[in-house]
């Protein structure tokens, strides 16, 4: 009589397609014996006996339950059992054991009043042909929680501006606005997923405020919170998408077909949960409860992130727009509605630009430059000249008249002489240069350096000649 192991061996070899002769040769037994063993496995199946293995977690249930009450995760508990109790056990084994210890959560359906809530989400539709190329497509869904009246729209991205535009289209489809909108933790709407105090995307928050609605966020990994819209996504995929995928992959055909399906099938069907027709419930009980649409649509801004260049400009739609120089090389947010460009640092508005229709232009605000590079006003120069002296002001006025294109640089040079000379000396030098019509920075500088500002006018001509001037200064001025 052969042992149980021989039965297993024969059965295994038969399952692998070995012939009776091969098995006989491999095991060194007769074909007759192999035949008996084969027939035995057919008429009297042999079950593999269960081995009694001691459970590694025996005696640790109370410890694990205590950790669970404190809110410890399976990962933390696994680390503690290994380090503190030297328990050698795999994480997956522990996680499976913990799942059996945890009490099962019971989900209670929550009923909403008419007009109280809408739920929104995106669902992936796959790839479709659009303008000659394959693009990823998502379906946006907004469902009124009370009536189950739904709006669907296909999009090719999940940006914030697209998300908001879909909301506007949905509100206009409903001809009203729900009091609250329950959103998933989408990047288009939520920056930081926190059930108690989520940080909402600024543009989305402003949008809902404009429509007198308020946002609610679903808890992370709690699909039951937005079960109505998730069921709506499943429904549109099963009832609409599967049929379309068999017929064609054209984006525009699919888009038009979805609108017809939404109006004539989706909202007119007998709803599987409520056993009512969404359109009828909406028209009879919910339509007139919704918040009235505002007179003016919310203005949608396209939002992009940019890094400010070292010259304190950002590149935006083929032009370059300035930001305050302090923000050079920093990350900023650019918001545009096609006409106006708003630039933010976090939530702080830095500046606003009119968008240029030209290309390759630098659009620069003067006050965005460092102070020493800003173009000064005429008043600035006059006030600064007057502080030095009246003669400097008269010199400036004459410069403006005689040299209208260069006076800024000339007078700036004269202002720079204050590093080396007092206001009295510069004022006296400007008076002498003015009297001789020597309207240049070099003339004033030379008078300061040589002390001509304190020489009597009678002796001046010879001294001027000694300094290299063979004619009156006015003659040299004509050479400019």
Inside any domain, residue 294: no
Domain end marker among 355, 372, 389: 372
Q: Are 346 and 353 in contact (CB under 8 A)?
A: no
Inside any domain, residue 411: yes
Q: What is the pTM of this model?
A: 0.52
Inside any domain, residue 54: no
Whether residue 151 is predicted with pLDDT greater than 80 in this model: the reply is yes
Is 384 in the same domain as 367?
A: no
Domain with 95 in it = 61-101
What CATH number is associated with residue 229?
Answer: 3.30.420.10
Q: Are 450 and 442 in contact (CB under 8 A)?
A: no
Any idea which of 89-103, 115-129, 248-262 has the lowest mean pLDDT? 89-103
Is 170 in the same domain as 143?
A: yes
Whether residue 364 is predicted with pLDDT greater than 60 in this model: the reply is yes
Is 199 in the same domain as 126?
A: yes
Is 121 in the same domain as 224?
A: yes
pLDDT tens, residue by residue, 409-463: 899 999 999 999 999 999 999 999 998 889 899 999 999 998 888 877 654 554 4
pLDDT number for residue 186: 52
pLDDT number for residue 39: 78
Among residues 102, 105, 104, 103, the alpha carbon closest in space to that of 77 is found at 102
Higher pLDDT residue, 470 or 228?
228
Inside any domain, residue 218: yes
Inside any domain, residue 55: no
Is 153 in the same domain as 17?
A: no
Any idea which of 104-108, 317-321, 350-354 has the lowest mean pLDDT? 104-108
Is 245 in the same domain as 339?
A: no
Compute CA 187 distance to the chain's CA centroid, rounded to the nearest angstrom.
7
Is 155 in the same domain as 209?
A: yes
Q: Could you tell me which residues come within 8 angstroms of residue 427 by beta carbon, excluding any fewer than 6 positions away?
A: 388, 389, 390, 391, 392
Inside any domain, residue 315: yes
Is 280 in the same domain as 312?
A: no
Other Cβ atoms less than 10 A from the Cβ of 20: the count is: 18
Domain end marker among 260, 289, 318: 289
Is 126 in the same domain as 182?
A: yes
Higher pLDDT residue, 178 or 83?
178
Inside any domain, residue 70: yes
Q: CA-to-CA distance for 144 and 109, rounded, in angstroms?
A: 15
Among residues 444, 411, 409, 416, the alpha carbon closest in space to that of 430 is found at 444
Inside any domain, residue 111: no
What total of structural domains would you count in the chain? 5
Q: What is the CA radius of gyration of the chain?
A: 42
Domain end marker among 372, 388, 410: 372
pLDDT number for residue 5: 64
Is 354 in the same domain as 400?
A: no
Is 437 in the same domain as 468?
A: yes
Confidence band for 260, pLDDT divided at 50, 70 and 90: very high
Confidence band for 4, pLDDT divided at 50, 70 and 90: low
Is 156 in the same domain as 279?
A: yes
Q: Are 317 and 302 in contact (CB under 8 A)?
A: no
């Amino acid at each position: 009589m052969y042992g149980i192991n021989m039965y297993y061996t024969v059965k295994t070899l038969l399952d692998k397609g070995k012939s009776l002769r091969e098995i006989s040769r491999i095991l060194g037994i007769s074909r007759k014996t192999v035949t008996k063993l084969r027939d035995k496995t057919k008429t009297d199946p042999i079950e593999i006996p269960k081995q009694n293995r001691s459970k590694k977690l025996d005696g640790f249930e109370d410890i694990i339950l205590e950790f669970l009450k404190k809110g410890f995760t399976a990962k933390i508990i696994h680390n503690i059992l290994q380090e503190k109790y030297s328990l050698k056990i795999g994480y997956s084994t522990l996680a499976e054991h913990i799942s059996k210890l945890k009490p099962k959560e019971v989900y209670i359906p929550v009923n909403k009043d008419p007009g109280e809530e809408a739920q929104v989400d995106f669902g992936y539709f796959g790839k479709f042909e659009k303008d000659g190329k394959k693009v990823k497509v998502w379906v946006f869904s907004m469902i009124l929680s009370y009536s189950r009246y739904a709006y669907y729209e296909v999009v090719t991205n999940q940006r914030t501006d697209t998300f908001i535009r879909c909301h506007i289209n949905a509100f206009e489809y409903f001809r009203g606005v729900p009091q609250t909108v329950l959103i998933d933790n989408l990047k288009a709407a939520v920056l930081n997923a926190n059930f108690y105090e989520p940080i909402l995307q600024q543009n989305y928050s402003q949008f809902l405020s404009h429509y007198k609605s308020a946002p609610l966020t679903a808890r992370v990994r709690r699909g039951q919170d937005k079960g109505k819209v998730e069921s709506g996504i499943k429904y549109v995929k099963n009832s609409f998408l599967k049929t379309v995928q068999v017929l064609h992959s054209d984006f525009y055909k699919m888009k038009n077909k979805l609108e017809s399906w939404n109006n004539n099938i989706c909202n007119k069907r007998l709803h599987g949960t409520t056993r009512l027709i969404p359109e009828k419930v909406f028209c009879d009980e919910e339509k007139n409860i919704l918040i009235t649409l505002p007179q003016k649509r919310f203005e949608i801004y396209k939002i992009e992130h940019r890094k400010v260049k070292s010259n304190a400009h950002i590149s935006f739609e083929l032009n370059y727009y300035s930001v305050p120089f302090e923000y050079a090389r920093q990350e900023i947010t650019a918001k545009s509605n096609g006409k106006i460009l708003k630039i933010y640092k976090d939530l702080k508005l830095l500046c606003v630009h009119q968008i240029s229709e030209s290309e390759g232009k630098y659009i620069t605000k003067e006050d965005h430059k460092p102070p020493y590079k800003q173009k000064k006003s005429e008043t600035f120069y006059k006030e600064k000249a007057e502080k030095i002296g009246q003669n400097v002001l008269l010199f400036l006025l004459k410069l403006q008249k005689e040299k209208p294109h260069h006076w800024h640089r000339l007078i700036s040079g004269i202002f720079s002489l204050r590093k080396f000379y007092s206001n009295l000396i510069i004022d006296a030098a400007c008076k002498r240069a003015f009297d001789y019509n020597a309207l240049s920075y070099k003339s004033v500088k030379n008078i300061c350096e040589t002390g001509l500002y304190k020489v009597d006018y009678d002796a001046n001509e010879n001294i001027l000649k000694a300094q290299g001037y063979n004619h009156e200064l006015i003659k040299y001025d004509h050479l400019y």
